[in-house]
Structure 1
């Protein structure tokens, strides 16, 4: 079975699709490169948002890999309008996967989207890095193992790395990012 490394992007200057990494985010991208120096990887698939691509560009360059851009790994759209209290609907979406604000994406819809990428990656041999965003990653983890929840999202770091081993039985998920 293939091994997947699920990566939350490095620190960015905002939530827009073209938001660049911060100075700290660029340093984190180099830490990611160094972290994966001795870990065999075969491909990198990333959200097409600027911050996700930039998070693994040093790693891709070091391995002489191209980065496959995958729109299905984009961040989940919680709301189209700015919300004064966005934590309450976000928390609700972890409790009720069908909950969604008008015109936005439910947790279930977002999870179905990333599961398409997981299923494609499962059919490949070797190790794949999937670079995505915090909310979408936390929803995926919750789908695979119910112990992951809203608090998982709240405690995720930028970046964060989870190793996912898929088998015929239960998936095995482990947070492997050592940096605080």
Structure 2
């Protein structure tokens, strides 16, 4: 058995620089709550998307267990478009309606999901019988969850919080259960 704790990053201060966008003051406060919640889960390993806001959300639990955050590129957010979308709602709806569709320079759901699932399988293989925190992003997290269980879809994504935490329990490569852990404290 392996438990993967997918942590959608806390609120960030918007900048067009995806890689180094930091958490906001509210995001840092919520990241502290994420750390408090995860300290009760006997975490062994912490991995994250390379994006600063994802790392900042989970680095507190890494500090608590005396480990460094391992960066895994496959957990970065999906690229929607090369330029910011004029109508984000339209842009995101279109890619969820057609898994093979992509905007110019962006990833289709199928391509982003494939990347995220490969990263997930690598973690499952590398960290058997461990509790692993994964700092990530809403869209890629739900695409990964959707691969294992189709209930996790666009409607589910639209109702995520920021941050949010889902514990996925696997036996080998088979998803056994999903439990939401995040509650506003």
TM-score (norm 2): 0.91
Looking at structure 2, the residues matched to 54 and 98 of structure 1 have their Cα atoms a distance apart, in angstroms, of 32
Q: Note the 1:75-90 alignment, pairs <5 A.
A: 75-90=77-92
Asked if 1 retains the 8 angstrom alpha-carbon contact of 2:11 and 2:163, the reply is yes
CA displacement at 1:118 relative to structure 2: 1.0
Contact in 2 for aligned 1:10/1:29 (Cα 8 Å): yes
What is the SS of the residue equivalent to 1:77?
Answer: coil
Distance 1:7 1:84 in 2: 28
Q: CA separation in 2, counterparts of 1:21 and 1:43?
A: 22
Aligned equivalents of 1:29, 1:73: Cα separation in 2: 18
Question: Could you list the runs of 5+ residues in structure 1 that have no partner in the other structure?
Answer: none
Deviation at 1:169, TM superposition (A): 5.0
Unaligned runs of 5+ residues in structure 2 are none
The residue correspondences of 1:1-180 to structure 2 (distance < 5 A) are 1-14=1-14, 16-123=18-125, 124-125=127-128, 126-167=130-171, 170-179=175-184
Q: TM-score, normalised to structure 1's length?
A: 0.93
User: 3-state SS of the aligned residue for 1:174?
Assistant: strand
SS at match of 2:21: coil
Q: What's the CA shift for 1:88?
A: 1.8
Bigger shift: 166-175 or 5-14? 166-175
**CA displacement 1:42-91 (0-9 Å, x = unmatched):** 10010111111111122111111110011111110011112221212312
Q: Is the 8 A contact 2:100 2:109 kept in 1?
A: yes
Task: Name the count of aligned residue pairs.
Answer: 180
Regions of 4+ moved over 2 Å: 167-171
